[in-house]
Amino acid sequence: MTVFRILSGLAIAALLGAIAYDLRRSGERWSCLGRFLRQEAKRAVLDWRGRKNSGAAGTLDILRRVVFGVSAAFFLVLALTGFAPILILGDHLSGILLIIHVTIAPLFALFLSALALLWAHRLRFDEGDWRLALGQERGRPFGKERLVRFALKVGFRLILFLSLPLMLTVILGLFPLFGTEGEALLIRWHGYSALLLMLVTLTEIHLTIVYVHHFTQHPVKERVP
Amino acid sequence: MKNTFLLLLYLALFNGSVSAQMPENVGDIADGNRSVPVHLIKLYDEFERVIKLDDRPLMPFSSRETCRKCHEYDKIRRGWHFNAADSGAVGRRGEPWILVDRQAVTQIALSYRSWPGAYAPGSVGLSTFGFLKMFGRHLPGGGIGEKEGAQDLNDYMRWQVSGNLDINCQSCHNADPAQSQAEYGVQVLRQNFRWAATAGSGFATVQGSAGDMPDNYDLYSAVPPEQSNVLPPTVTYNSSHFDVAGRVLFNVPRRMPPTQCSFCHSSKVIDPSNLERWQGEEDVHTAAGMICVDCHRNGLDHQIVRGYEGEGEETGRPAVVPFTCKGCHMGSIDAPVPVEGRRGAPRPRHPGIPPIHFDKLACTACHSGPWPTSNTQRVKTSRAHALGIPKTDKGDEALPHIMTPVFARLRDGTYAPHNAFWPAFWAYQSRDGLAPIAPGRMRARVQAVLGRDTTRVAGRWPVLQESEIVEILQQLRLDDSTSGNPVYVSGGGLYAIGPGGTVARREDEAAGPYLWPIAHDVRPKAQSLGVRGCTDCHATDAPFHFGTVIIASPYVLRPDSTNRMTAYQDKNPVSVWVFSMSFLFRPGLKVMLIVCFALIAWVVLISMLRGFAHIIRTLAAEEE
């Protein structure tokens, strides 16, 4: 518990520090997160109103974004309820936080699987990504936008990959298969999987904000006079 | 002058070193031989004289003087069973002595140990002599029985007649089938303190009662003429037990059978579905052939291992740490050598039980006491109900009413089954807290009030009406207006005279239940809580959280009120209920989680396959 507490504390602090540094470097503040959320909400409302004109593809796009948003929200709740007692109190998850955690967790799993299905194709690797990954574009100039997009695709797959041990450790723990030591090991692995997933997810959310903010033409900005 | 001072100083130091290095008695030095020493020994009376069958008058033997010839009595007398009145010997809260006075509508927890919720016997007017008269039946002697400094001067003459109640070593160490703790108890109730151990030994008969003797009775003189109709305490030894040298054989095995402990440590759960003795079970450890002292061990100091978690830290004796449930069954990572598996203790696997349970629950929560039912059950204990003493009230309704199992929080934050009883007594409340009023002072007053109602059904637990409580409290106020506000504690509440002469109920810590953790009987693994799944405890009607705790009360408006188990668990019942409710959906959630896992795994697998395919294509392209 102590080792995990120290490791997770350090990792989260390092990641938040890196995000803060990146925001500062690009002249942004934490408040841009709020601005982003407001803009995305407005955009969702506008898209919802115009869904009849955009057809099935538009509805699917709204659904995609809703799933992404809800998954991110659920994840943040899970991360808060899961890590707060460990980081702050140095204690196991219990009481009302445990109730919230175990209530949200299956919903998160549901939304995450929907996310996987809805976003897997959109965030598929294309030829350019493979060339970038295999270092075949060494020496050729490529934009920051492409790099961020590539990182988002990698992050998406990492999130899915890391969610597997996270879910498996819970599923196995729900069946009378492992004894005391085995259950303790599963909980430990669940914690470390959650830590890695949180680091990747926070990075992914940050990159998404950066991508939307810098590399897409924001319809809200355009439509709102 | 200087030389004299130095001489005195030397003598003082020398004497001190002599006493500090006093050689141990012959019986206290183990040479490693595992055979059991034969205790064929002479008997000594309290004046250190050898007892001979032709002595007149025949004196009872004294365990203290007989055993101290080979064993260091002064060290033994500081042991757990004898040191209640010694300051500092507290430990975890245990079963108190419960004073029940039906006529004063009083039941109150007493202890010489400073356990929260238990009052010192002196605070209810019980002198050490009075305490022994009442509870000495289930005491092995020693402690206040021989602590002359604790004796009340008013009882001086009675002490002279009854003698000291020295430690009765045979209570625990005599395995002879004729050894009778019940007979010992009867003799104590007759105030035959110095005769009690002899009467219980099985080779002597004691007749008469010191309680019937006048204050000026002397052992060596005849009964005064005015008391000629009563028999003074006399002892008659069974001569066949004495050999030609005047020695008696005591059966003193190293491993005392559990029946020796059971006399004072028995309990009977009043389970309507399990009334016959043959329907009951015994502790899984004793059923497997173990005995109490396999775990509850002690050395010469008789600091017996109580065996609860944290005892080592509390008592400053790290050596006792391995003698807990965890110590034997799980071992200790701090132990320099493996200690688990003692006496063949199996290591539990606890399959499927999340580790948080082992932080939040004592082992006893799932494994000890009766299987919890929707309502708590009554339990009778040796000490509270004088079990084993002839002519004791064998009825299931006998007072005091103790409830079990109440799953409450221990000091270390874990939950464990407890026995609980709710005090009922009259008291004066002041800034210093509650000062109970001696039942003897209340008896006549209460009976005068109760006696007016001739239609009252005289049950075991007389019930009081509101008007009767008010009347008695008003009388108490008139009696003594300086001691504080008169109150009546009952059923978990504190009742005082409220505005308009009504009874006002208040919550008060002193009115709360006296709870003490129980560890026996341990049930078999297949009867442990959780063996049928999570819903043994995590169901919206599971007794562990939502069992009904019955509060026995002599106040008629709340004769047997109830409480939810969560009231003793420092838990919000709503959150516990919500959490328990979630277990209804758990099977569905398991399926959902597995489906979600499979979907995500499928997407990840496809991505990986596509990646591999691309690598293969790239490599093939380079080859071409």
Interval B498-510: pLDDT, tens: 888 888 888 888 8
Are residues B543 and B456 part of one domain?
A: no
Are residues B377 and B285 part of one domain?
A: yes
Across B172-193, average pLDDT: 94
Q: pLDDT at residue B63 above 90?
A: yes
Q: How far apart are CA B124 and CA B101, in angstroms?
A: 11
Q: Are the C-beta atoms of residues B89 and B66 closer than 8 Å to each other?
A: no
Across B252-274, average pLDDT: 89
Q: pLDDT at residue B101 above 60?
A: yes
Q: Are the C-beta atoms of residues B46 and B62 closer than 8 Å to each other?
A: yes
Which of helix, strand or coil describes residue B249?
Answer: strand
Across B465-487, average pLDDT: 88
Q: How far apart are CA A45 and CA A65, in angstroms?
A: 12
Nearest to A134 among B596, B610, B618 (CB): B618
pLDDT band at B10 (very low <50, low <70, confident <90, very high): low
Nearest to B614 among A130, A163, A177 (CB): A130
Are residues B403 and B350 part of one domain?
A: yes
- The pLDDT value given to residue B89: 65
pLDDT band at B560 (very low <50, low <70, confident <90, very high): low
- The pLDDT value given to residue B102: 87
Q: Is residue B103 part of a domain?
A: no
The three-state DSSP-derived secondary structure of B155-220 is HHHHHHHHCCCCCCCHHHHCCCCCCCHHHHHHHHHCCCHHHHHHHHCCCEEEECCHHHCCCCCCCC
Closest CA in chain A for residue B350 = A179
Q: Are the C-beta atoms of residues A111 and A70 closer than 8 Å to each other?
A: yes
- What is the overall mean pLDDT for chain B? 87
Q: Are the C-beta atoms of residues B505 and B443 closer than 8 Å to each other?
A: no
Q: State the nearest Cα–Cα gap between A124 and chain B, in angstroms.
A: 8
> Does the CB of B581 have a partner CB in chain A at under 8 Å?
no
> Does the CB of A184 have a partner CB in chain B at under 8 Å?
yes
| Interchain CB distance below 8 Å, B606 and A120 | yes
Q: How far apart are CA B159 and CA B157, in angstroms?
A: 5
Across B317-321, average pLDDT: 87
- What is the overall mean pLDDT for chain A? 81
Are residues B551 and B507 part of one domain?
A: no
Distance of CA B529 to the CA centre of its chain: 24
Q: Are the C-beta atoms of residues B241 and B248 closer than 8 Å to each other?
A: yes
Q: How far apart are CA B313 and CA B222, in angstroms?
A: 55
In which element (H, E) is residue B421 found? strand B415-421
Q: pLDDT at residue A221 above 60?
A: no
Q: pLDDT at residue A207 above 50?
A: yes
**Better-scored residue on pLDDT, B208 or B462:** B208
- Between B123-137, B390-404, B559-573, the lowest mean confidence (pLDDT) is in B559-573
| Interchain CB distance below 8 Å, A102 and B601 | no
Q: Is residue B596 part of a domain?
A: yes
Q: Are the C-beta atoms of residues B562 and B550 closer than 8 Å to each other?
A: yes
Q: How far apart are CA A186 and CA B129, in angstroms?
A: 60
Nearest to A116 among B352, B582, B603 (CB): B603
Tokens for A41?
A: 């909400």
Q: Is residue B224 part of a domain?
A: yes
- The pLDDT value given to residue A205: 84
Long-range contacts of B55-58 (CB under 8 A, 24+ apart): B57/B219, B57/B220, B57/B234, B58/B234, B58/B235, B58/B236, B58/B237
Which amino acid is residue B380, in one-letter code?
Answer: K
Which of helix, strand or coil describes residue A51?
Answer: helix
Are residues B278 and B359 part of one domain?
A: yes
Domain boundary among B228, B251, B274: B251
Q: How far apart are CA A120 and CA A130, in angstroms?
A: 16
- The pLDDT value given to residue B225: 67
Q: Are the C-beta atoms of residues A164 and B604 closer than 8 Å to each other?
A: yes
Q: Are the C-beta atoms of residues A49 and A96 closer than 8 Å to each other?
A: no
Q: State the nearest Cα–Cα gap between B361 and chain A, in angstroms.
A: 13
- The pLDDT value given to residue B209: 92
Are residues B304 and B243 part of one domain?
A: no
> Does the CB of B348 have a partner CB in chain A at under 8 Å?
yes
- The pLDDT value given to residue A56: 66
Within 10 A of A55 (CB to CB), how many other CB atoms are there?
Answer: 9
Q: How far apart are CA B70 and CA B550, in angstroms?
A: 51
Across B42-63, average pLDDT: 93
Tokens for B291?
A: 């005995």
Domain boundary among B470, B494, B512: B512
- Between A46-55, A115-124, B284-293, B542-551, the lowest mean confidence (pLDDT) is in A46-55
Look-up of token digits 């002690």: B298
Q: Which of A183, A186, A189, A200 to mutate to test the interface with B (most CBs of B within 10 A)?
A: A183
Tokens for B312?
A: 């080592």
Range of the domain at B56: 35-93+114-168+176-251
Residues 94-113 of A with CB under 8 A from B: 94-96, 98-99, 102-103, 106, 109-110, 112-113
Residues of chain A found within 8 Å of residue B356, distances taken between Cβ atoms? 92-94
Architecture of domain A2-223 in this structure = Up-down Bundle (1.20)
Q: How many domains does chain B have?
A: 4
Distance of CA A188 to the CA centre of its chain: 21
Q: pLDDT at residue A223 above 50?
A: no
- Residue B87 phi/psi, 5° resolution? -65, 145
Tokens for A58?
A: 């538009």
Nearest to A103 among B352, B582, B592 (CB): B582
Q: How far apart are CA B406 and CA B543, in angstroms?
A: 9
Entry pTM: 0.85
Q: pLDDT at residue A212 above 80?
A: no
Residues of chain B found within 8 Å of residue A168, distances taken between Cβ atoms? 597
Are residues B244 and B296 part of one domain?
A: no
- Residue B402 phi/psi, 5° resolution? -110, 135
| Interchain CB distance below 8 Å, B579 and A93 | no
Across A107-132, average pLDDT: 86
Torsion-angle region of residue B302: left (phi > 0), alpha (psi -120 to 50) or beta?
A: left
Interface predicted TM-score (ipTM): 0.88
- The pLDDT value given to residue B395: 87
Sequence-distant (6+) residues with CB within 8 A of A95 are B575
Q: Is A87 exposed, middle or buried (0-12, 13-18, 19+ CB in 10 A)?
A: middle
| Interchain CB distance below 8 Å, B582 and A125 | no
Q: pLDDT at residue B286 above 50?
A: yes
The DSSP output letter for A34 is H
Residues 7-26 of A with CB under 8 A from B: none
| Interchain CB distance below 8 Å, B353 and A180 | yes
- The pLDDT value given to residue B557: 62
The DSSP output letter for B416 is E
C-alpha dihedral (B477, B483, B488, B491), degrees to nearest 10: 170
Q: Is residue B105 part of a domain?
A: no
Q: pLDDT at residue B62 above 60?
A: yes
C-alpha torsion sign, points A83, A110, A189, B539:
positive
| Interchain CB distance below 8 Å, A183 and B610 | no
- Between A92-101, B261-270, B368-377, the lowest mean confidence (pLDDT) is in A92-101
| Interchain CB distance below 8 Å, B618 and A116 | no
Q: What string of DSSP letters covers B460-517?
A: SS--B-HHHHHHHHHHHHHH-SSS-EEEEEETTEEEEE-GGG-EEEE--GGGSPEEEE
Q: pLDDT at residue B88 above 70?
A: no
Within 10 A of B174 (CB to CB), how many other CB atoms are there?
Answer: 25
Sequence-distant (6+) residues with CB within 8 A of B364 are B325, B416, B417, B517, B518, B519, B522
How open is the CA angle A78-A79-A84, to the nearest 5 degrees?
110
Tokens for B196?
A: 């009690």
Q: How far apart are the first and last CA of chain B?
A: 118
Are residues B378 and B315 part of one domain?
A: yes
pLDDT tens for each residue of A155-196: 999 999 999 999 999 999 888 899 888 998 999 899 999 999
Are residues B536 and B416 part of one domain?
A: yes
Q: Is residue B356 part of a domain?
A: yes
Are residues B523 and B479 part of one domain?
A: no
Q: Is B221 exposed, middle or buried (0-12, 13-18, 19+ CB in 10 A)?
A: exposed
Residues of chain B found within 8 Å of residue A108, distances taken between Cβ atoms? none
Domain ranges (residues) in chain A: 2-223
Q: What percent of chain A has pLDDT over 90?
A: 19
| Interchain CB distance below 8 Å, B356 and A160 | no
Are residues B522 and B508 part of one domain?
A: no
